[in-house]
Amino acid sequence: MVIKIGKAEDNDFVVREHPHVSRHHARLIREDDDCWLLEDLGSTNGTFVNGVQIVKKRVALKDVITLGDNYVLDVSEVLKYNNDYSEEFAALKKVYDNYIQAKIKIQSSNQFKTRLFQSLPFAIPGVVGVVIGFLGKGSPELFGLSLFITVCAPTVGIYLGAKQSAKTPQLLQDIANQFKIDYVCPKCGTFLGEIPWESLRNRKQCPVSSCKAKWVSE
Ligand SMILES: [Zn+2]
């Protein structure tokens, strides 16, 4: 997590109209929840922590940070301007990959089962016919049974196959619903669509105009 501070509009925290603040003055890099690394970015008037000029220094919320001679930086205010969601965004790669894998798995396993259910019953009458042939001249009972299976088996097969393929939309619907909850902008929560994570990474930030979350930190 990085917060850039300075006069230029492309900073996260923009300091407007202060003569001692440079365009890209300093940045805060989060190390853990309470500890930040403050770095001067070659500013004209320098960065100070508790009155001492620094190039790079670990700071806590209680430290007094001054840009140039007299611009006191309100750190708790600056932290509100954090827009760096690169860590959270990186975690979405797994969400996308898992979703695609689960989807392919459901589709291919279903195709196999559907084919199995539909083809097996067609094979049974053939087997029964061969058995009847072996039994010789064929009794009317066996012939009747064979006819019954020949008529019924494909019907059952088509029914089972149709039932199997009807299961897929439900399963796919379930994982798609979960995906809609998980694959969202970490800041504003907008669903990102079924867009590959790599394509989103190329956009670098959230397209929602009020959000501006950075997905990739430079
Ligand atoms: Zn967003």
pLDDT digits (tens, 9 = 90+) for 5-23: 999 998 989 999 899 999 9
Residue 22 CA to ligand 1 centre (angstroms): 29
Task: Kindly write down the DSSP assignment for every residue of the chain, as one continuous string.
Answer: -EEEEESSTTSSEE--S-TT--TT-EEEEESSSS-EEEEE-S-SS-EEETTEEESEEEE-TTS-EEETTTEEE-HHHHHTT--B-HHHHHHHHHHHHHHHHHHHHHHHHHHHHHHHHHHHHHHHHHHHHHHHHHT-S--HHHHHHHHHHHHHHHHHHHHHHHHHHHHHHHHHHHHHHHHHHHSB-TTT--B--S--HHHHHHH-B-S-TTT--BSS--
pLDDT, average across residues 120-137: 71
pLDDT digits (tens, 9 = 90+) for 161-180: 788 777 778 889 999 999 99
Q: Of 197 and 162, which is predicted with more confidence?
A: 197
Residue 213 CA to ligand 1 centre (angstroms): 5
Residue 7 CA to ligand 1 centre (angstroms): 24
Residue 92 CA to ligand 1 centre (angstroms): 13
Query: Are 4 and 13 a contacting pair, CB within 8 Å?
Result: yes
Above 90 in pLDDT, residue 147? no
Q: Of 62-66, 100-104, 164-168, 189-193, give the lowest mean pLDDT range.
A: 164-168
Residue 85 CA to ligand 1 centre (angstroms): 9
Give the pLDDT confidence score for residue 76 in this predicted structure: 82
Give the pLDDT confidence score for residue 137 in this predicted structure: 63
Q: Of 132 and 65, which is predicted with more confidence?
A: 65
Give the pLDDT confidence score for residue 117 in this predicted structure: 78
